[in-house]
């Protein structure tokens, strides 16, 4: 077995909301927050009239501009087509399974992942074994099944990320479903050629401690049953959406007015900083910027997903990728003004997409 480093990272990012037009108040509030100020700095025209921006400050500003065009935040993607692939059993122990899924060519190029579901067939526990261990299971006849995504890093070490976990009963058998959407989303971030998708399935005690039940030792998942080949082996269901029908269209046509029937697109919105009274002597660069906003409607799937997210709302046109906005502002210290570079996060919309309201954004892949 490979040495494993467990990374119990449970958090996910909230989905970016529908991108309404950026307001003057939002720009001002973001600037105050980044500068840790409670109110706008009061600078007279004479304070900044002869102010010279040093070369190193301008270089820092230009570097942030370049970076803001290359580093984007990530958004959620959704889909509705269904495909199923079978997993190959790589290794198995009494309480741990490593499942390998060859994923290349499984996801269509013009599609986005909505949901990935791992289905494992829990074999029934023989009645004789249940009777033999009846006393041990008086406290608990359940076990915890945990699914982790395993990645082999470039340096040869392994890293696991917790994906899903649930309790199963020894008195039940049949198919058990686990939401592994995040694992497939993380796998998609790998550089090509990608490794196969490796999922580690562990069966553990429901509770910890010396008096905890050993019920987990009787939980077995089928890999392949003779005479019923392929019917009970681990299955990975992939739900995808055809972007040509359900995705956004890119940038809006400036010659066509936006209506209720307009397909989700990114519309130009110019923010004139020089025209804002509070910013005229405070913001030195830039004089204004293109912020963009997401407008239009999204096509709704005929059959919404009901497995893990029955609470999802209708699909909306949202900002799926945003970028920061660098600024040079004048800061008054000791009676004199000096220039300072500040970066305002998520002020510019880079990409608009369609996503269901209430969904979560998978975390970014860490080194």
**What is the helix (H) or strand (E) element at residue 59, kind and residue range?**
helix 55-70
- For the chain, the domains span 14-75+248-361, 81-243
Give how far Cα 291 sits from Cα of 83, 155, 271, 351, Å. Answer: 38, 41, 7, 11
Place of tokens 């994906």: 163
Residue 132 has a pLDDT of 66
Place of tokens 């975390």: 363
Question: What are the tens digits of pLDDT across the range 104-121?
Answer: 778 877 787 878 899 999
- What is the total residue count of the chain? 367
**Cα(165)–Cα(168) distance, rounded to whole angstroms?**
10
Topology adopted by domain 81-243: Jelly Rolls (2.60.120)
Question: What are the tens digits of pLDDT across the range 39-57?
Answer: 887 777 776 677 778 888 8
Nearest to 221 by CA among 208, 235, 207: 235
* Secondary structure of residue 344 in the 3-state scheme: strand
Per the omega criterion (within 30 degrees of 0), is the bond before 210 cis?
no
Report, at the CATH architecture level, how domain 14-75+248-361 is classified: Ribbon (2.10)
Burial 171-209 (b: 16+ CB within 10 A, else e): eebeebebbbbbbbbbbbeeeeeeeebbbbbbbbbbeee
pTM reported for the whole predicted model? 0.61
3-state secondary structure 174-190: EEEEEECHHHHHHHHCC
Mean per-residue pLDDT over the chain, rounded: 76
Place of tokens 């741990």: 96
**Cα(90)–Cα(97) distance, rounded to whole angstroms?**
8
Question: What are the tens digits of pLDDT across the range 178-199?
Answer: 999 889 988 888 877 788 899 9
């Amino acid at each position: 077995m490979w040495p494993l480093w467990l990374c119990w990272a449970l958090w996910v990012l909230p989905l970016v909301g529908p991108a309404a037009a950026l307001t003057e108040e939002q720009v001002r509030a973001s600037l105050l927050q980044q500068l840790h100020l409670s109110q706008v700095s009061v600078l007279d025209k004479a304070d900044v009239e002869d102010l010279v921006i040093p070369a190193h400050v301008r270089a820092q500003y230009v570097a942030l501009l370049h970076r803001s065009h290359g580093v984007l935040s990530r958004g959620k993607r959704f889909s509705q087509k269904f495909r199923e692939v079978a997993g190959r059993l790589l290794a198995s122990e009494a309480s741990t399974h490593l499942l390998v899924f060859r994923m290349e060519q499984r996801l269509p190029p013009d599609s986005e992942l909505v949901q990935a579901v791992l289905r494992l067939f829990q074999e029934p526990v023989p009645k004789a074994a249940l009777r033999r261990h009846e006393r041990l299971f008086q406290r608990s006849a359940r076990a915890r099944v945990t699914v982790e995504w395993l990645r082999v890093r470039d340096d040869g070490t392994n890293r696991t990320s917790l994906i899903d976990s649930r309790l199963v009963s020894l008195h039940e058998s049949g198919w058990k479903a686990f939401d592994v959407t995040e694992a497939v989303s993380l796998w998609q971030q790998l550089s090509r050629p990608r490794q196969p998708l490796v999922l580690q399935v562990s069966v553990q005690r429901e509770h910890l401690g010396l008096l905890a039940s050993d019920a987990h030792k009787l939980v077995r998942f089928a890999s392949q049953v003779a005479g019923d080949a392929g019917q009970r082996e681990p299955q990975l269901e992939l739900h995808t959406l055809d972007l040509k029908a359900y995705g956004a269209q890119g940038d809006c046509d400036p010659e066509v007015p936006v209506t209720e029937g307009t397909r989700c697109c990114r519309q130009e919105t110019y923010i004139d900083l020089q025209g804002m009274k509070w910013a005229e002597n405070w913001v030195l660069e830039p004089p204004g910027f293109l912020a963009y906003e997401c407008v239009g409607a999204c096509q709704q799937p005929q059959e919404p997903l009901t497995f893990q997210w029955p609470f999802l709302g209708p699909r909306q046109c949202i900002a799926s990728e945003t970028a920061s906005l660098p600024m040079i502002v004048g800061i008054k210290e000791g009676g004199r003004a000096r220039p300072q570079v500040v970066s305002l996060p998520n002020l510019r919309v880079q990409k608009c997409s369609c996503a269901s309201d209430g969904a979560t954004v998978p975390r970014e892949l860490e080194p």
